[in-house]
Homo-oligomer: A and B are copies of this chain.
Amino acid sequence: MRAMTETSPDAAVAPPPARRRRKDGEARRVMILDAGLALFSSVGLHGASVEGIAERAGLSKTNLLYYFPSKEELYIAVLRRVLAVWLDPLQAFDADSEPAEAFRHYIRAKLTLSRDAPQASRLFCLEIVQGAPLLRPELEGPLRDLVEAKATVIRSWSAQGRIGPHDPHHLIFSIWAITQHYADFAVQVDAVSGRSLDDPAFFESVVASTQDLILAGLGLNPAR
């Protein structure tokens, strides 16, 4: 995922215009992005101040603005990273394995993400709920195409009788909804049930319950 800093092919012509960047230049950007994610995901774009983010990242406001020209630009950069992470599990949805196995694996991957990257999930949620004027193109382009590809696979499974008939879109939406619920609505889950995904026992029980629910919906009686 980390991009190489492009080095000039031949160092003979000109002495390698080596990055004079401060050794930790890239590390600082990451610090800022992390701080931005933390703040944006908990108080939103408008609720977070540049100064607050800078403080959390351990530098001055002015210095932050040196790395990112404006708050909006930083926000976009944070969102972009989040989107990549968010898309990852769906890309890994495996069309070649058994349907039951593919769904089981996908559900576990999404819930793992909800456990390990809840801030990313929440920021994504905030952005979508508010209308995502910024993410719209991404959703209508890459995401839509990706979903369509997976939906085709699911439909073919259905046609082969390997799973019961079900609308692929609704199926995918349901899995997204349930798995992300445990990250996005964590405080509600905690308030109502007193549990958190950080508790390994609870995590496994959520994985199992979700898998059971979806597989049952597919007409695949889970053998348990």
Contact = CB atoms under 8 A, between A and B. Distances in A.
Interface of A: 42-47, 122, 125-126, 128-132, 136, 139-140, 143-144, 147, 166-167, 169-170, 173-174, 176-178, 180-182, 184-185, 187-189, 191-193, 195, 205-206, 209-210, 212-214, 216-217, 219
A191 B139 contact: yes
Contacts of A206: 170
Given A143-B192, A173-B182, A177-B181, 5 more contacts: A44-B45, A44-B126, A122-B130, A170-B206, A213-B213
A188 B139 contact: yes
A78 to B, nearest CB: 16
Nearest to A181: B177
Integer count of this chain's copies in the complex: 2
Of the listed residues A42, A128, A177, the one surrounded by the most CB atoms of chain B closer than 10 A to its CB is A177
B173 A178 contact: yes
A191 B42 contact: no
B176 A129 contact: no
A192 B130 contact: no
15 contacts: A44-B44, A122-B130, A132-B187, A139-B188, A170-B210, A173-B182, A173-B185, A173-B189, A174-B181, A176-B181, A177-B180, A177-B181, A213-B213, A213-B217, A216-B219
Given A170-B209, A213-B217, A129 B139 contact: no
B187 A169 contact: no
Of the listed residues A178, A212, A214, the one surrounded by the most CB atoms of chain B closer than 10 A to its CB is A178
Nearest to A213: B217
Given A177-B177, A181-B177, A210-B174, A188 B132 contact: yes
Nearest to A136: B191
Contacts of A132: 187-188
